[in-house]
Amino acid sequence: MVDDRGMNAALRVRGIVKWFDPTKGYGFILSDAGGPDILLHINVLRNFGQSSIADGTIVELAIQNTERGVQATEILEILPPLRDETPVLSDFAELDMSELHAKPLRAARVKWFDKGKGFGFANVFGCPEDIFLHVEVLRQSGLSDLQPGEALAIRVINGKRGRMAVEVMPWEAAND
């Protein structure tokens, strides 16, 4: 698509993350409409407020054709990967999933996260205790990794092993 100035104008598409490597700083998206893979650069992801995105995550984005192929210019929406309502951790097995999703989203910041270990901790603003973050909760929320200091919105429960996140979202979703 070309705009009034003869420049390539951004198109809005929906697709699924094929793969994304935060270390390399890029990944690719498969458009629902078909066509070539769409390059997703980490700066476009960071402009949306995230430093990672999980494979299989559904995204709505603006794209542009360039000399080097189709590239994402802006992420408009990120939807977590499709999943059933089966709890991802045994800590959630006896809990009503609808009750978990009704908990408020709280603004938090990542204290540390180690993808290799599969967990880390965050702190909710104004609360001193650490909140446990499990990699499976990240994956079901559409994330694959977190960076220290990264802002998030999380739903928190008192689990068998203490305070833990049951859902992680971009910080803009926090409602406290």
pLDDT digits (tens, 9 = 90+) for 110-126: 999 998 898 999 999 88
Strands (E), 26-161: 26-31, 38-41, 58-66, 69-79, 106-114, 119-124, 130-134, 151-159
Residues near 43 by Cβ (< 8 Å), separated by ≥ 6? Answer: none
User: What is the residue-averaged pLDDT of the chain?
Assistant: 83
pLDDT digits (tens, 9 = 90+) for 4-17: 434 445 799 999 99
Residue ranges of domains in the chain, CATH in brackets: 11-79 (2.40.50.140), 90-173 (2.40.50.140)
